[in-house]
Amino acid sequence: MSQHILTLCYLIGSVTFIVGLKMLSNPAAARKGNWVAAAGMSIAILGTIFLYKDSKTGAYLHNYAWIFGGLIIGGIIGTLSAKKVQMTAMPEMVSLFNGMGGACAALISLVEFDHVSKAIAENNSEAFIAFLQPKVLIIVLGLIIGSVSFAGSMIAWGKLNGKVKDFSFKGQNILNLIFLAIAIGAAGYLVYVPEYHTLLYVILVLSLLYGVLFVLPIGGADMPVVISLLNSFTGVAAACGGFLYDNKVMLTGGILVGAAGTLLTILMCKAMNRSLKNVLIGSFGGNTATAASGGSSSQGVHKEISLSDTAMIMSYANKVMIVPGYGLAVAQAQHICHELEKILTEKGVEVKYAIHPVAGRMPGHMNVLLAEADVSYDNLLEMEQANEEFSTTDVVLILGANDVVNPAAKSDPASPIYGMPILDVELAKTVVVNKRSMKPGYAGIENELFFRPKTSMLFGDAKKVLQDLCAEIKNA
């Protein structure tokens, strides 16, 4: 009887994952969808704890103290860190949690392989080993994918919070492929000869190394794509667990995320008009990009504008378009930005936001951030809409955005971001760029826009500048 209930639990879990994911892709139902999936997950977890029986011995699970201890510790840390994290740090949080899932899958593989090698030590007849081979294959696959996902996510996390710098050397791609090839070769050998269990640790180390080296050379601007890809990797690793235990809910959940994650990765690449291969091998922001732009860094002079002048042109404008970028997120300036919008609106200025699909560190990052500051949905323009409205805009205020307004994406075929759709801010009458310094953006390339005659630079931290700007406009 209990096994029938467990099957039902897993069925409910699988259905809620599909329904939840479907609801998550629709703005009105998204939040409910998240909870639907969470409820299904809880049912599946509780069902496993109390109803799962080992297929061989028929015994229920034991070690309840350990299980609940782990659940409680993980639950508390997870809830607290997710509640405390600032909106700007959300992307790295997702990466961190993704890494935890990958590590979990890798650990399961380690323990299960230990069981297998013990079983072989007791009975090493050929038939028994042949029977275990598919199991070993799944275990090793889970180990490789889980470790790559863990190591890669940790590096992505470190990159997004600035702890890890871009790093690449000549022939890195080839070295990476060699590591991966050796790991896969070792995995193949291990499946063939499962007794040779030290190989498992070789595979583990190589997979971790591969994960690190795979993400290290990729620039921060491409991190969302990488995280999304690693996310689908972890999905596949979870599905390996599903194979291993013949567990349908792990299988459906894992494959579902693996497939959806892959599609999402491709959609994100499309938003930037780049191919996945280009992101992974073309290592944006690596040495090549800096070298290519080195020649153009000395071109022209930029023009600065004072706060009071900025306040002046903005309060006498008919229409102001704000282009938010990562600088706004880092400075936590979304609230004061909304304040500026309100002050200007009171003065009869039309204020809109132009949101580039990949502004910030993740697609949709700016929408989340501005929504937090109560900015109305209707004032957020997507790229196509915004590009239509720039020609009727008097002042464009760029807050810490760089690559998404770089005209080189249109004009310079040698530029690493060539082909990425950008916001045509130059159609507007005046462009004011707020940045902390003249340093290039995350892609590591110079922005010609800053040297154009229409453009003026307003240096400083976004939050500080906006506060001063609000005060100036109020007094004017």
Partner 1 sequence: MESILNFIEANQQILYIVILMIFVGIEVIGRVPSVLHTPLMSGANAIHGVVIIGAIIVMGNAEESNYLAKILGFLAVVLGTLNVVGGFVVTDRMLEMFKKKK
As measured in angstroms, the least distance from the Cβ of 152 to partner 1 is 14
> CA-CA distance, 94 to 99, in Å (whole number)?
9
- Using the rule CB under 8 A, is 453 a contact of partner 1? no
Query: From the list 193, 267, 291, 438, which residue makes contact with partner 1 (rule: CB under 8 A)?
Result: 267
Catalytic residue set: 403
Q: Given the complex with partner 1, which of 125 and 298 has the nearer CB atom?
A: 125
Q: In this structure, what are the phi and psi dihedrals at residue 399, rounded to the nearest 5 degrees?
A: -105, 95
Q: Given the complex with partner 1, which of 375 and 431 has the nearer CB atom?
A: 375
Query: From the list 7, 11, 12, 24, which residue makes contact with partner 1 (rule: CB under 8 A)?
Result: 24
Q: Which residue has the tokens 């090698």?
A: 117
Q: Which of the residues 223 through 242 are near partner 1 (CB under 8 A)?
A: 224, 227-228, 231-232, 234-235, 237-239, 241-242
As measured in angstroms, the least distance from the Cβ of 459 to partner 1 is 29
Q: Which of the residues 88 through 107 are near partner 1 (CB under 8 A)?
A: 90-91, 93-94, 96-98, 100-101, 103-105, 107
Q: Which stretch binds partner 1 (CB under 8 A): 48-56, 172-180, 277-285, 387-395?
A: 48-56
Q: Which residue has the tokens 């990425």?
A: 420
Query: From the list 20, 152, 220, 282, which residue makes contact with partner 1 (rule: CB under 8 A)?
Result: 20
Q: How many CB atoms lie within 10 A of CB 80?
A: 10
Q: Which stretch binds partner 1 (CB under 8 A): 41-49, 189-197, 301-309, 415-423?
A: 41-49
Q: Given the complex with partner 1, which of 2 and 392 has the nearer CB atom?
A: 2
Q: Which of the residues 309 through 368 are near partner 1 (CB under 8 A)?
A: 357, 362-365, 367-368
As measured in angstroms, the least distance from the Cβ of 68 to partner 1 is 9
Distances from the Cα of 226 to the Cα of 40, 104, 159, 290, angstroms: 28, 20, 11, 21
Q: Which residue has the tokens 């193949």?
A: 188
The DSSP code sequence of 281-350 is HS-TTSHHHHHHHHGGGG-S---B--HHHHHHHHHT-SEEEEEE-HHHHHTT-HHHHHHHHHHHHHTT-E
Number of residues that bind partner 1 (CB under 8 A): 115
User: Where would I find the H helices in 123-171?
Assistant: 126-160
Contact (Cβ atoms closer than 8 angstroms) between residue 69 and residue 130 = no
Contact (Cβ atoms closer than 8 angstroms) between residue 288 and residue 334 = no
Give, as one character, the DSSP assignment of residue 194: T
Sketch the per residue contact string, 153 through 192, with partner 1: x for CB under 8 A, - otherwise: ----------------------------------------
